[in-house]
Amino acid sequence: MDAIAIDFETANERRDSACAVGLAWIEGGRVVRRETRLIRPPELRFSPGNIRIHGILPADVRDQSNLPEAMAEFLPDLTDRLVLAHNAGFDMGVLSASLAAWGRPVPPLRYLCTLRIARQVFPDPAGCGLAKVAARLGIRFEHHDAGEDAYACAEIALAAMRETGSDSVSDLPRALRLPAVVIPGGYVPDSEASNSTASRALLAGRRQPKAAPALRFSVRGSKGNRYDVVLEERSFGLYLRCDCTAGRHRRRCRHVDAMIDGDVTDLMSGNLGDVERLRLRILASGAPVEPSRDRAPVELRRQADFA
């Protein structure tokens, strides 16, 4: 194998919040394999801006593997090999910080940034972002899908290989006089991430106990109305109260279903982290949440769907 391209998507502003990884293997002057994996980050706190970019929701990754598990089959291929990434400082930082969050070292590798390659081989006043370079080279891909981005990164490197007359992508550092950055293994560039409260708790195998916060969500109805969904402790257990028409009649509505399912598509309050806290509270209670989804008659559920 000549090289492997990698791309990460993150849940929020932290480098240890990887929620997807894509890889593309290069051999014999072409991409021979592509893989994409969703990843459960240490905390399911998704920033609205990140969701707008990649479209990944907390519910999409809740049951996925953590980063060391998701990357286990790929780490041997990264070891002691040339790894490509577009704006590689970001992706290598995500790899290192996300592994560190679970107490794992990054494998020894060499990486080369295809953004720097593009600026040297395919310069353009319009810039050398991944989508812009791909468009100029005729590379078709779906931007901000991790696997697609890794593929585009690999194709940019292959185009540079052909442009420079190099025998393989692994020859690009020498041909362009862009030395590949060496990570000897165990390198963690984001000390803040590795020393975070969440990371220390994960390394200890448990989280520090916290007082249960009050959970309130504002959601958008099908007609654009704003409704509040509030978690209440009642004598019989947990009750998710919604002030939509169905909720006021103690019927199970789609807004309650959405919060329980982790669907934040219509969440207006922006407290994405509380959606995960709601799930944990429900799991800890060990009992169904009222209004019960199973109890509501079909006719009432249909009415609630129009709320």
pTM beyond 0.75: the answer is no
pLDDT digits (tens, 9 = 90+) for 146-163: 999 999 999 999 999 999
Q: For residue 192, which phi and psi values (nearest 5 degrees)?
A: -65, -40
**Is residue 199 pLDDT above 60, yes or no?**
no
Residues in contact with 304: Cβ distance below 8 Å, sequence separation at least 6, in sequence order: 244, 246, 251, 252, 253, 254, 296
Residue 268: count other Cβ atoms within 10 Å of its Cβ. Answer: 13
pLDDT digits (tens, 9 = 90+) for 239-271: 999 999 999 988 899 999 888 888 888 889 888
pLDDT for residue 271: 85
